[in-house]
Structure 1
Amino acid sequence: MLIKDNEIADINTPTGDMRAHIFRPAAPGKYPGILMYSEIFQVTAPIRRTAAMLAGHGFIVACPEIYHELEPAGTVLAYDEDGTTRGNAHKITKALSSYDSDARAMLDYLKSRADCTGRLGVMGICIGGHLAFRAAMNPDVLATTCFYATDIHKKGLGLGTNDNSLDRAGDIKGELLHIWGRQDPHVPLEGRNLLKARLEEVGTRFTWHEFNGQHAFMRDEGSRYDPALALQSWGLLLELFHRRLGWGDLDVESDNAPAESRH
């Protein structure tokens, strides 16, 4: 379906305004909301294309700038050594509580939108996978997809690098989907096994997929992109989100063609 991808919202949080980029179906009506977290580079072109793809399947997608306290609004870090160094430094400069308050503010924003059904999901990639895992601890999150979520196994998120994500896994009440690359050096086998054992221990409702892929295999830019694995992963996440969040008003009139609703 056709989408709109030029909307920006500045969301008030306890640590200042946070810019979010909104992608939504062009057709009027109500749709489920998805909070989508980026990699450490913020809202890059590949992240925007991912959000657009999701919106085109009938979701209102909000991508926040996760380092809003540390970078001017609109900042996008480059996929190079300098951008990686800067993004990784920010990751452990920002307080853990600020990540959590950002998540709550974003979820409240989505629920407040007149075009949202109020049914909420979360998705995240890399650090965003970890942030999605934490956002899933909010009771109104019904479904969450985490792509190769970094640092959960070693408690490495936030100021002090001693997060409590593993400890709080039992707070996740919605359904969880984890997708990993076996050749990902950032989350080795022992780290994946530690997290999986914890989810089993606390009785989380989850699905777990490990592919023969590298870190960032979903990013449609660079040498690690694996289109075949990305396509399989899209099928998994869309199945989860449509099943748990519903379809919204897909069969309504479009902005410009009353007789045509979706395309």
Structure 2
Amino acid sequence: MPTKTVQIPTPDGLADAFAAYPENGDRHPGVLMYADAFGIRPTIREMASELAGHGYYVLVPNFFYREGPTPVIDLPGHIKEADRDALVARLMPLIKGLTPERVLSDADAYLSFLTVQPEVSAGPVAVTGYCIGGLLATRTAAARPGQVAALAAFHAPVAADGRESLLRLTADVHFGHAATDITPEALGELNESLDTAGISYTSEIYPGTVHGFTMSDTDAFDPAGLRLHWDRLLPLLSRGLTKR
């Protein structure tokens, strides 16, 4: 599986990114993948490469590039639950720096870069993300409805982003929620907003999971949750990206 590190020009400088794509020399649908707050690391590279193996060009930007290239902070090889609060405290100022204006400016740069790669086919793209990356993916899809045909977000605070953003979505959508992240009542309110948007979607709580369940290098990892994530993500991309 070919992989490489690339530099994406943005109005605020160069964003380093990881790219993975099939090695058969053909052109493939593009997927913009936003990592969780811990950023690009072996687990994320493995997930991007696995997705690329299903026939996609996957681009994973370092959305904290304004603070420096990956890794922005030092991470242990395995992130224990006892480590999480201290690491998140270090990352929180960076997360707060991702203003709506910066998020959309960056999204334009990421999508512009993705769509002109020689390995990427013409047509709509997908966005997917994890944790804060899921929120960035949702904002990207809402802001670029004519370009983004599929959106997936996992253990992401999408319900907190407001009904107005959700109503701008036109993509096929899947939201996979951790059981500890959202109540059934809040899920119902979120899904009501998606119903109002009139889009094709699934939005569900993954049983027995905690925040971060897709990440194999953390104590939050849930193998069954990760499998369900792939079971939902791959058909979504196939449906959304074949509407050409």
TM-score, reference length from structure 1: 0.82
Query: Which digits, 9 at most, give the CA deviation of each residue in 1:145-173, with x for residues without a partner?
Result: 110212x3334xxxxxxxxx531222211
Contact persistence 2:34–2:128 (CA under 8 A): yes
Question: Alignment RMSD, CA only?
Answer: 2.0
**Residue 175 of structure 1 is aligned with which of 172, 176, 200?**
172
Deviation of 1:60 (Å): 0.5
CA distance in 1, matches of 2:184, 2:17: 34
CA distance in 2, matches of 1:234, 1:167: 28
More helix as a share of residues: 2
Map 1:198-237 → 2, pairs under 5 A: 198-212=193-207, 213-237=209-233
Map 1:101-180 → 2, pairs under 5 A: 101-118=105-122, 119-137=124-142, 138=144, 139-150=146-157, 152-155=158-161, 165-180=162-177
Contact persistence 1:44–1:76 (CA under 8 A): no
CA distance in 2, matches of 1:95, 1:183: 26
CA distance in 1, matches of 2:183, 2:136: 19
TM-score, reference length from structure 2: 0.88
Deviation of 1:188 (Å): 4.0
In structure 1, the partner of 2:65 is 68
Q: The residue matched to 1:200 in structure 2 has which SS?
A: helix
Deviation of 1:76 (Å): 4.2
**Residue 93 of structure 2 is aligned with which of 89, 92, 100?**
89
In structure 2, the partner of 1:239 is 235
Aligned length: 232
Q: The residue matched to 2:21 in structure 1 has which SS?
A: strand
In structure 1, the partner of 2:12 is 15
Deviation of 1:83 (Å): 2.5
Query: Which digits, 9 at most, give the CA deviation of each residue in 1:55-77, with x for residues without a partner?
Result: 111110000001111x2112243
Contact persistence 1:154–1:191 (CA under 8 A): no
Contact persistence 1:4–1:26 (CA under 8 A): yes
Q: Which moves more between the two structures, 231-240 or 194-203? A: 194-203
Query: Which digits, 9 at most, give the CA deviation of each residue in 1:54-101, with x for residues without a partner?
Result: 0111110000001111x2112243243442212222111232211111
Deviation of 1:104 (Å): 1.4
Contact persistence 1:43–1:76 (CA under 8 A): no
Query: Which digits, 9 at most, give the CA deviation of each residue in 1:2-41, with x for residues without a partner?
Result: x112x12211112221111111111101001000001111
Q: The residue matched to 1:17 in structure 2 has which SS?
A: strand
CA distance in 2, matches of 1:189, 1:19: 38
The higher radius of gyration belongs to: 1
In structure 2, the partner of 1:253 is none
CA distance in 2, matches of 1:166, 1:92: 21
CA distance in 2, matches of 1:25, 1:128: 24
In structure 2, the partner of 1:33 is 30
Cα 1:193–1:15 change in 2 (3 A) is farther
Q: The residue matched to 2:70 in structure 1 has which SS?
A: coil
Identity of aligned residues (%): 27
Q: The residue matched to 2:164 in structure 1 has which SS?
A: coil
In structure 2, the partner of 1:257 is none
